Amino acid sequence: MRIVILGAGLAGVTSAWELVRDGHEVTVIDREIEVANFSSYANAGLIAPGHAFAWASPDAPKIMLKSFWNNDQAIRFRPKFDIHQWQWIIKFLGQCNNTRSRINTEHKVRLCSYSQRCLNEVVSATNLSYERTTGGLIYFYLSKKSFEAAARKSKLLVEFGLHIEALDTHSLTELDPGLKSARNEIAGGLYVASDESGDSRIFTQELAKICQSDGVHFEMGTTVHQLVHKSNTICAVDTSAGHIEGDMFVMALGVHSANLLRPLGINLPIYPVKGYSVTLPIMPRHNPPKFGGVDEDNLLAYCPMGDHFRITATAEIGGYDTSFKPRDFNTMMAKARTLMPEAADYNNPQYWACLRPMTPTGLPFIDKSHVPNLWLNTGHGHMGWTMACGSARILADLIAGRPTAIPRQGMTLMTSEKK
Ligand SMILES: Cc1cc2nc3c(=O)[nH]c(=O)nc-3n(C[C@H](O)[C@H](O)[C@H](O)COP(=O)(O)OP(=O)(O)OC[C@H]3O[C@@H](n4cnc5c(N)ncnc54)[C@H](O)[C@@H]3O)c2cc1C
C-alpha cells in the first residue's frame, strides 16, 4: 500500500517506522524543513508511565479558575473568542470527576507502559542513541503535606501495575546526589525505577534517517492545505508542492490535526496546551541531577540530556500562539536555580515554547475514521514522547488487521467518554 503520513513529529515518524517494516510504501509530509521541529522539539524528555495521571481531575476546575488571578497555577485557562476552545473546555470539565479520572488514568498507564516496551524494541532493533538515561525518574515534593497526599494517590498507579517507592529526603539525595543542594527544601519524593528519559528530537531525527534508508520518502517544507476526497475516500493531499496521492492516509499533525479534519465532518477534541522549555549547557564544573524528574510543588519538569539540562513548565489553554519573551521564563528559571544551582549554566539559556495536542481525556486517537482510508494517530497531549512508539505499533496493527496488544479504550472515535 502507498501510505501518506501527515506530520513528521514523534507520532508521524514512529508510524512511518512501523509501517515501512510492514512492507508499505511510505511518504511523510511536514511543513518544517527538519523532522521534529514543532511539539516534539524540546519537550521535557521524560518517558514517564509513573506520571500518567489524567490532567482532568476533580481538582482541575479549581486550579483553572484560580489561574484568572494567580499566574502560578498548574493549568492556566486563557479564554479566547474561539468556539473550539470552549467546546474543548466543556468536554475537559466533563472528565473532571473521580470516576473518569480513574478510568482515564488506567488507560493512560496501560498505553504508556506498553509504549515504553515498544520503545525498547525500537532501540534494540536500531541501536539509536538519543541521550537516553534509564534507571528511573524522581517526583519530589517540597511540603510534607503534598508528599503524603502524593504517596496516597500513587497507590492508584501501583494498582495498575507500576512499582513506586516513596523515599525520604536522605534516601532521595543518596539516590541522586544532583539534588543535594535542595535537601533542606525537599520533603520527600516518589521514585519510579522503571521510568526513563531521552531527547525526543534526536530520537525522532535519528529514527527518520533509518526510515529514509529503509525507503520512506520525506516531503519536508511542504504544507498540507486539505485532504482531497472522491466518493467517500481520500485520493490525495493538497499541499504547497501540489497533490500527493496515496492509498491510505494517516493524520499525525498534532495540534493542527483537528482543523484539517473538520471539513470532512470529523470533529476531534484536540486543543493546544502551551508549555515553556529552557535548555542549559552543562559544563565539567556542573553537577546536574543524575535522573530526570518533576518538582511537583513548583510543577517543573527537569532532565539531564548529555551535555544539556532541560527544564519545562506551565500548561496554558490559550490558543495556538507559540510566541514567548525571555521574561516568561523568569519564574521557572528562578525556581530551578534555587533548588539545583549547580545543575547547569543558567546564564546561557535556550528558550522554547510549544503546544501539547491535548484531548480532554489525555488519551490520543488511534483509529480509523469514517472515511475508510483515513487513519488517526494524534492527540498525545502531555505524554506524546512516552506514548509514541506504542501508539505507532497499535496503528500499524490496526492497518494490518492484526489484534492490538492492548485494548484501545478511550482511543477510538466512538468512545462515549470523548463525546
Ligand atoms: C513543554 C512540553 C513538555 C513536554 N514534555 C513531555 C515529556 O516529558 N514527556 C512526554 O511524553 N511528552 C512530553 N510533551 C508532549 C510531547 O512533546 C507531544 O505530545 C508530542 O511531541 C506530540 O507529537 P506529535 O507528533 O503528535 O506532534 P508534533 O511533534 O507537533 O508533529 C506534528 C507535525 O505536523 C506538522 N504540521 C502541522 N500542521 C501542518 C500542515 N498544515 N502541513 C504540514 N505539516 C504540518 C508540524 O510541523 C509538526 O512537525 C511535552 C510537550 C511540551 C510542549
- Adjacent-strand bridge partners of 374: 249
Environment class of 191 (CB within 10 Å of its CB; exposed 0-12, middle 13-18, buried 19+)? buried
Instruction: Provide the pLDDT for residue 152.
Output: 95
User: Residue 286 carries which side chain, given as an amino acid letter?
Assistant: H
Domain membership of residue 228 (yes or no) is yes
Q: What is the mean pLDDT of residues 341-362?
A: 98
* Residue-range definition of the domain harbouring residue 29: 2-40+202-269+362-418
pLDDT above 50: residue 418: no
pLDDT band at 66 (very low <50, low <70, confident <90, very high): confident
Report how far Cα 148 is from the mean position of its chain's Cα atoms.
27
Q: Verify whether ligand 1 is closer than 6 Å to residue 32 (CB atom).
A: yes
Closest atom of ligand 1 to 30 CA is 44
Minimal-distance CA residue to ligand 1 atom 19: 384
Q: Dihedral sign, CA of 275, 281, 285, 290?
A: positive
pLDDT band at 419 (very low <50, low <70, confident <90, very high): very low
CATH code of the domain covering residue 255: 3.50.50.60
Instruction: Express each pLDDT in 147-176 by its tens digit.
Output: 999 999 999 999 999 999 999 999 999 999
Rounded Cα–Cα distance for residues 164 and 311 (Å): 23
Q: What is the mean pLDDT of residues 399-413?
A: 97
Domain membership of residue 211 (yes or no) is yes
Q: How far is the CA of 198 from the centre of ligand 1 (A)?
A: 15
Number of compact structural domains in the chain: 1
- Which mutation among 329, 382, 387, 411 tests ligand 1's pocket best, with the greatest number of atoms within 8 A of CB? 382
HSE-up of residue 235 (Cα within 13 Å, Cβ side): 5
pLDDT band at 363 (very low <50, low <70, confident <90, very high): very high
Q: How far is the CA of 379 from the centre of ligand 1 (A)?
A: 9
Report how far Cα 366 is from the mean position of its chain's Cα atoms.
15
Are β-strands 224-230 and 365-368 bridged in parallel, bridged antiparallel, or unpaired? Answer: unpaired
Residue percentage of the chain with pLDDT more than 70: 99
Domain membership of residue 216 (yes or no) is yes
pLDDT above 50: residue 417: no
In the structure grid, which three cell numbers stand for residue 117, read together?
A: 516496551
Domain membership of residue 178 (yes or no) is no
Tell me the whole-structure pTM to 2 decimals.
0.97
Domain membership of residue 248 (yes or no) is yes
Q: How far is the CA of 24 from the centre of ligand 1 (A)?
A: 24
The answer to whether 191 and 303 are in contact (CB under 8 A) is no
Closest atom of ligand 1 to 379 CA is 26
In the structure grid, which three cell numbers stand for residue 83, read together?
A: 468556539
Domain membership of residue 215 (yes or no) is yes
pLDDT above 50: residue 322: yes
Q: How far is CA 211 from CA 19, 32, 116, 129, in A?
A: 10, 18, 20, 15
Minimal-distance CA residue to ligand 1 atom 22: 384
Instruction: Express each pLDDT in 94-143 by its tens digit.
Output: 999 999 999 999 999 999 999 999 999 999 999 999 999 999 999 999 99
Instruction: Provide the pLDDT for residue 273.
Output: 97
Instruction: Provide the pLDDT for residue 130.
Output: 98
Instruction: Provide the pLDDT for residue 415.
Output: 56
Q: Verify whether ligand 1 is closer than 6 Å to residue 275 (CB atom).
A: yes
User: Residue 67 carries which side chain, given as an amino acid letter?
Assistant: S
Q: Verify whether ligand 1 is closer than 6 Å to residue 386 (CB atom).
A: yes
Closest atom of ligand 1 to 40 CA is 21
Domain membership of residue 329 (yes or no) is no
Print the SS3 string covering 208-272: HHHHHHCCCEEECCCCEEEEEEECCEEEEEEECCEEEECCEEEECCHHHHHHHHHHHCCCCCCEE
Q: Please list, residue by residue across 358-383, b when 16 or more beta carbons sit within 10 angstroms of its beta carbon and e when fewer do.
A: bbbbbbbbbbbbebebbbbbbbbbbb
Domain membership of residue 184 (yes or no) is no
Please, what is the average pLDDT of the chain?
96
User: Residue 239 carries which side chain, given as an amino acid letter?
Assistant: T
Q: How far is the CA of 125 from the centre of ligand 1 (A)?
A: 24
Q: How far is the CA of 171 from the centre of ligand 1 (A)?
A: 35
Q: Verify whether ligand 1 is closer than 6 Å to residue 382 (CB atom).
A: yes
